């Protein structure tokens, strides 16, 4: 797995990173329109309501698209959009040693990978 940079932790995202350190994936759900969303933010991207609440995601998803980089100092690694079972899409790294076995539609599960001195980052691994 390539080295992952330290994420920017803000007061708004602190609960997300605290949960990540405990192996939990949090997303937000809007109290006004009911839509779940990711990445963590104060306002709902669907209706702009400030009535958003943290919820724990199941941590399971389906690969929507992917790209495997095979050149460069950190290669190989795979970036993908995965669709969480709750609905939101997440841009993420796929943590695996078998890049050729990855496919669109494949089921994946969240795993937390250490960053370079900060909180762990949610990545996904094949189920």
Question: Mind spelling out the 3-state secondary structure of 19-68?
Answer: HHHCCCCEEEEECCCCCEECCCCCCCCCCCCCCEEEEECCCEEEEEEEEE
How many C-beta atoms lie closer than 10 Å to residue 19's C-beta?
Answer: 19
Instruction: Output phi, psi for 46, to 5 deg.
Output: -90, -45
Tokens of 99: 């890049």
Tokens of 126: 């094949």
With a threshold of 0.85, does the pTM exceed it? yes
Cα(114)–Cα(19) distance, integer angstroms = 14
67-70, long-range: CB < 8 A, 24+ apart: 68/99, 68/102, 70/99
Digitized pLDDT (tens) for each residue of the chain, 127 residues in all: 678 888 999 999 999 999 999 999 999 999 999 999 999 899 999 999 999 999 999 999 999 999 999 998 889 999 999 999 999 999 999 999 999 999 999 999 999 999 988 899 999 999 9
pLDDT per residue over 16-38, tens digit each?
999 999 999 999 999 999 999 99
Cα(56)–Cα(47) distance, integer angstroms = 21
């Amino acid at each position: 797995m390539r080295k992952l940079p330290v994420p920017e932790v803000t007061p708004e995202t602190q609960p997300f990173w605290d949960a990540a350190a405990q192996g939990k994936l949090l997303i937000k759900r809007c109290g006004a329109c009911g839509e779940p969303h990711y990445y963590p933010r104060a306002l709902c991207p669907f209706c702009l309501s400030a009535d958003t609440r943290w919820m724990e995601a199941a941590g399971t998803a389906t690969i929507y698209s992917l790209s495997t980089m095979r050149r460069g100092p950190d290669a190989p690694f795979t970036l993908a959009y995965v669709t969480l079972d709750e609905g939101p899409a997440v841009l993420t790294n796929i943590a695996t040693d078998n890049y050729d076995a990855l496919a669109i539609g494949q089921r994946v599960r969240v795993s937390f990978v250490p960053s370079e001195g900060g909180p762990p980052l949610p990545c996904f691994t094949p189920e």
